[in-house]
Amino acid sequence: MPFQVLITPTPMFAIADVWGDVSLMSTLQLISTIAEDSRLHKYPRVLINFLDADGALGEEERRLAGEAAAQNLKHLDRVATVVRRNVITGTTEASAVQHGLSMRTFDTIGEAVRWLSAA
């Protein structure tokens, strides 16, 4: 299935729902789309929901995705990603944080919302 994203603003943050086949190219395009949309609509935080996405990035691709997120999304206060528990490695989060982005990875939307909603 083609990779797709729907960004929905809420009063405190935006939610980017993602579905379809995940690749490094689609992830980099997603980061670019969120960067542009967040500047246009001025939301300070974003939740990226990968729960309906298919596949997973390799370790090097995850590192590159984290670095790209940091480079393009540093203007955001917080970025939360939600992925299935069985695909969490911590690589993307660690890379993003190492490059200066406040990012956390969760396996439930509720946990991500709590973190994004905290002061």
Cβ neighbours of residue 85 closer than 8 Å, sequence gap 6 or more: 107
Burial level of 111, CB count in 10 A (0-12/13-18/19+)?
middle
**pTM given for the model:** 0.95
CATH of the domain at 79: 3.30.750.24
pLDDT at res. 82: 98
DSSP labels for 23-92? -HHHHHHHHHHHHHHHHHHT-SEEEEEEEEEES---HHHHHHHHHHHHHHHTTSSEEEEE--GGG--SHH
pLDDT at res. 111: 98
Return the SS3 of 112: helix
| Structural domain boundaries enclosing 106 | 4-117
pLDDT at res. 119: 72
pLDDT in tens, the chain (119 residues): 899 999 999 989 999 999 999 999 999 999 999 999 999 999 999 999 999 999 999 999 999 999 999 999 999 999 999 999 999 999 999 999 999 999 999 999 999 999 999 97
Q: How many domains does the chain have?
A: 1
- Report in angstroms the alpha-carbon separations of 117 from 14, 16, 19, 64: 11, 16, 24, 27
Give CA–CA dist 68/31, Å, rounded: 7
